[in-house]
Structure 1
Amino acid sequence: MPTTTRRPAVFWEHRTYPGDLAHLSQVRSDLATDLTGFDPDLVDTVQLLTSELFANGVKYTDSGHTGGEVIRALSMPDPATLRVSLSDCGGGGGTPRIPTERTADAWDWAEGQRGLVLVQNLSTAWGHFRLAPWADLGTHVWAEFEVDPGQAPPGLRPYVFTR
């Protein structure tokens, strides 16, 4: 039976990064390049949230160990939505979640685990799923952002080569 899922209107070539926080500036720089022509505030927000998701992928999985990688995908599933996705290399990092057991005072004192709160509040939607959970191949985390179709750069092609 044919699938009814629509393909992205625009799909950027994936980028792969070593699972090391030293590459975070390259992740941000590549996003700025790939999103040339989009609203600068949108680009800043996407960079901020992608930085958080990249750091989580490195910190909580095998991506932070020798040979680990984080893969970034970027697409527009429709003319009004930009989606960034990151997949890590697994390693028992668990699934991303916002701690719900904290009180307001505990949140005031917390130094960590605020990143997903940023993701939740600055994106229009976000989510995650395990890549082959029976083999612990990693976690795929995505966030979506609203794009004014009239403000998208003209001439975007269905597939954008990034290198």
Structure 2
Amino acid sequence: MSIVPYISTGPVTVRRGELTPRVYPGDLAQTSRVRAELRSDLARLRSTQDDPIGLPDDLVDTVVLCASEAFANAVEHTRSGEPGGEVLRVLSAPTPQRLRLVIVDDGAAEPYPDSPGESTAEHTAAQDEGDYAERGRGLLLIDTLAAAWGSHPLVAFPFCAGLGTVVWAEFALPTPQEATR
């Protein structure tokens, strides 16, 4: 069961201070859709009705990469990746200088049992070695590319700890003068 409410993912125009929420099924196959719709939303970013900001291609690529990583983490490591799970993506420009990306998952997944005949220590060591070689760098990428980032529980009450996690990242927006250069 998902706690993320259904929100239509139709076309949107982002303006300063406004939110553009989109809900995606918790399936890694949706990653290309997440990227495409985010690129579309970023292309429509406006500071006012008649004053386009215009985002540099490298900033768009950076935001899209960070969104892909946060989406994949939500699907891989939370209940969002289970049948019926969902991931919420929100894009906003809370100030003229910042673009904020938010990914909300459905909460912590239940721990998986060890494989029969393997001790926890053996399983963990082997899994960690393999995972480190191929995976585990998503949040490191976000840390490197975003101006600021963090995470917090969806609801800040101890008895609601498993309801979901919010991962956010902020990016510096060009000033209108920088955008026209």
TM range (shorter): 0.7 to 0.9
Q: So what's the TM-score if we normalise by structure 1?
A: 0.75
- Is 1:24 paired with 2:31? yes
Q: For residue 151 of structure 2, what is the aligned residue in structure 1?
A: 128
Greater fraction of residues in helix: 2
Q: Is the 8 A contact 1:60 1:93 kept in 2?
A: no
* Letter matched to residue 167 of structure 2: V
Structure 2, gaps ≥5 residues long: 1-14, 44-53, 112-128
Greater relative contact order (Cα 8 A, min sep 6): structure 1 or 2? 1
Q: Quick one: structure 1 residues 38 and 65, their matched pair in 2 at CA, closer, same or farther if it must change by over 3 Å?
A: same
In the aligned structure 2, how far is the partner of 1:12 from the partner of 1:39?
21
Number of residues paired by the alignment? 133
Q: So what's the TM-score if we normalise by structure 2?
A: 0.67
Match of 2:167 among 124, 141, 156: 141
Q: For residue 45 of structure 1, what is the aligned residue in structure 2?
A: 62
Please show how residues 44-83 of structure 1 align to structure 2 within 5 Å. Answer: 44-83=61-100
The superposition leaves residues 42-88 of structure 1 with CA deviations (integer Å, 9 ceiling, x where unpaired) of 11000001000000000000000111100000011110100100000
The structure with the larger Rg is: 2
Q: Quick one: structure 1 residues 93 and 122, their matched pair in 2 at CA, closer, same or farther if it must change by over 3 Å?
A: farther
In the aligned structure 1, how far is the partner of 2:134 from the partner of 2:29?
21
* Secondary structure at the counterpart of residue 38 of structure 1: coil
Q: For residue 117 of structure 1, what is the aligned residue in structure 2?
A: 140
Structure 1, gaps ≥5 residues long: 1-7, 95-105, 154-163
- Is 1:35 paired with 2:42? yes
Please give the root-mean-square deviation of Cα atoms over the aligned residues, in Å.
2.2
Identity, in percent, stands at 48
